[in-house]
Amino acid sequence: MDRKQILDKLKQILSFSFGESSELLDKCTEESDLVTDLGLNSVGMLFMVISIEEAFQVSFSNVNFSDFRTVGDVIDFIEANRK
C-alpha cells in the first residue's frame, strides 16, 4: 500500500465523521493540518485513531495525539508501524 492509497483510505475513514460530500475531504492532502484545516476536536481525533488501528492494524499505544500535526504525519506513522 503506497502513500496515495493510505491517504484514500484515511479519507474514507474521515467520511464517517465529515460526511462523504464534504469539501474538506476534497481539500484533504498530506499537508492538511488535522486541527486547523480539518477541524478535528479531541473526540474527532479519538475517532480517527481508533478507526485507523482497526483499518491498518497498527497500535497507537505509546503515542500522543499531539505528536501528529498533519495528515502526512499520520501517514508516516502508519507506514512505519504497519505489520
Partner 1 sequence: MKYVIDRVFERYAEPETIARIVDYTDMTQMWRSCVKQYSDLPAIDDGKVYTYGELDALAAGVRGILAGAKVEKGTRVGIFMPNSVQFVYSFIGCTTYGATAVLIPPQLDEMTLFGFSMKYALDTILTVDAMMGKTGVLMAKRPGFRLLNVSAGSDTTAPDCECDPDSPCAIMFTGGTTGQSKGVILSHRAVMRGTKNGCYGFNGIFNQRNFIILPMTHVFGLVRNTLTSLYTGSVLHVCRDNKEMFKEIAMFRPTVLVLVPALAEMALNISRQFGKNMLGPDCRYIICGAASVPPYLVREWKKLGVTLFPGYGLTESANLVSGNPDCLEHPDSVGYIYDGMEVKVVDGELWLKGPNMLLGYASEPEEEKRAFSDGWFRTGDLVRFDEDGRLYITGRIKEIIVLSNGENISPAELETKFSEIDCIQDCLVYSKVIDGREYLTLEVLPRPAVIAAVPEAEREAFIREQIGKVNATLPSHKQINRIVIRTSDFKRSPSMKILRKQD
Q: Does 77 bind partner 1 (CB under 8 A)?
A: no
Nearest to 25 by CA among 33, 14, 9, 36: 14
Could you say which of 47, 58, 72, 77 contacts partner 1 (CB under 8 A)? 47
Q: Does 16 bind partner 1 (CB under 8 A)?
A: yes
Q: Does 19 bind partner 1 (CB under 8 A)?
A: yes
Residue 20, C-alpha cell as written in the block? 462523504
With respect to partner 1, which residue has the nearer C-beta, 49 or 73? 49
- Phi, psi for residue 18 in degrees, rounded to 5: -95, -25
Minimum gap (Å) between residue 2 Cβ and partner 1:
23
Residue 64, C-alpha cell as written in the block? 500522543
The amino acid that residue 63 corresponds to is: V
